[in-house]
Structure 1
Amino acid sequence: MRADAARNLAAVLRTGARLLAEDPSTSLSAIASAAGVDRTTVHRRFATREALLSAVFQAKLDSAERVLDEARLTEAPVAIALHRYAEGIIPVTRAWPVDTRRMMRDDPTADSRRAEQSRRLDTFVQRARDEGYLRADVPLAWARAVLDQLVDGIAHRFPDLDAPQAADLVVDTFLRGVGAAQ
């Protein structure tokens, strides 16, 4: 793919993610205009809004997959892995604000990938508890929900915090809020 075509595609995907998160009925023409590309450029690549949305979901999943791999959730010490995850996933959450629940309904392939990523995080939270970083009396599902809400909340409600600062807050809040007394 040519460099300008790759830039255009990236602009369309990121703009589409933002606009479709705000209004799922946004037209391809409106996305093209906001992305600064010709309408035919978008229509040539994506026949429908649903096709664009599927590409957005795949891009979000690809980004999240890279973050999970780079965090080394099964190998790195828990606090370090958690910080790497938070620092990586906060920008992904900001860049791809589409609702993953819609992804689950509309795209079985994306749903399968999302479920695998979720399983990896569940395993990490279990590891954190097994290694004494989380209280044993806190249900794992609750701890995981808290982690997800911390990431989502800081990503969207505090956009001026850079990723490292935001990750520091997520880790501190997560490990002290549901962490074991030390």
Structure 2
Amino acid sequence: MNEVVIRPLRADAERTVQTILEAAERTLNRKPNATMEEIAAAAGVARTTVHRRFATREALITAMAIWASRQLANAVEDARPESTPPIVALYQATANALRVKVSWGFAMNAALAPGNEADRIKAGVVERCDLLFARLQEAGILRADVDPVWARRVYYALIHEVCQDLSGHPDDADTDAFATQIVETLLRGVGTPNTQL
């Protein structure tokens, strides 16, 4: 298995890598079979610059998935799921996650070899979300008879469906409005009758 390791880079090199990753996301989202040359052109760098940073197309896609997964993990952490009131954390985590998933749709859905770093990062996100859903139940926001893990899976499915609709149109996404719809849909299905939305 080819493990991709992203090492700390100088600030200018980090900016170049980020530019390449963002250009690759835009390009591959529109044209999944785009070449490294097309990605380099979209990034405004020489093909050799892309190849110097990413030896293969697979290495580039893996790096994109790792980058996107880290952005998702940061988005969930920014909602402070352990300390913010759980309903507030749920809304904020939803809006934050939608921004990442819509902007990084290709990378978030890339098929990688099992056991990769992106999967490990996403597993950490699942743990944080499960903690949040347990807090939602403890606070009486989720019904006592609902399995919080099942509720989290339904929540993930709702996010996935919204992201499928917005794929390729991140600038058109009113993530706050969609976050509200997702949370309200979820809580009307598994929430307690008295939950104020």
Distance in 2, matches of 1:143 and 1:14, equals 33
Q: Judging changes above 3 Å, is the alpha-carbon distance between structure 1 residues 125 and 14 closer, same or farther for their aligned structure 2 residues? A: same
Of residues 178, 191, 195, the one that matches 1:166 is 178
Aligned to 2:144: 136
Normalised by the length of structure 2, the TM-score is: 0.78
CA–CA separation in structure 1 for the residues paired with 2:114 and 2:42: 24
2:41 is aligned with 1:33: yes
Equivalent AA in structure 1 for residue 159 of structure 2: V
Counterpart for residue 102 of structure 1:
111
CA–CA separation in structure 1 for the residues paired with 2:136 and 2:110: 26
SS in 2 for 1:102: coil
Q: Give the share of equivalent positions with the same residue, in percent.
A: 34
> Which residue number in structure 1 is paired with residue 6 of structure 2?
none
Deviations 1:65-109 (A, max 9, x none): 211211011111111101110111111001111245724x35522
Aligned counterpart, 2:4: none
Select the residue among 119, 127, 133 that pairs with 1:119: 127
Instruction: Give the Å deviation of 1:171.
Output: 1.9
- How large is the RMSD of aligned CA atoms in angstroms? 2.4
**For residue 83 of structure 2, what is the aligned residue in structure 1?**
75
Would you say 1:86 and 2:98 are equivalent positions? no
The answer for the alignment partner of 1:176 in structure 2 is 188
Tell me, in whole angstroms, the C-alpha distance in 1 between the residues paired with 2:130 and 2:50.
Answer: 37
SS in 1 for 2:141: coil
Structure 2, gaps ≥5 residues long: 1-9
In the TM superposition, what is the alpha-carbon distance from 1:54 to its structure 2 partner? 2.0
**How big is each residue's C-alpha offset from its partner over 1:14-46, in whole Å with a ceiling of 9 and x where there is no partner?**
232344456665432222233333211211111
Output the CA distance in 1 between the equivalents of 2:92 and 2:110. Answer: 25
Unaligned runs of 5+ in 1: none
Q: In the alignment, residue 163 of structure 1 is paired with which amino acid?
A: T
Moved more, 78-87 or 26-35: 26-35
Shift of 1:170: 1.8
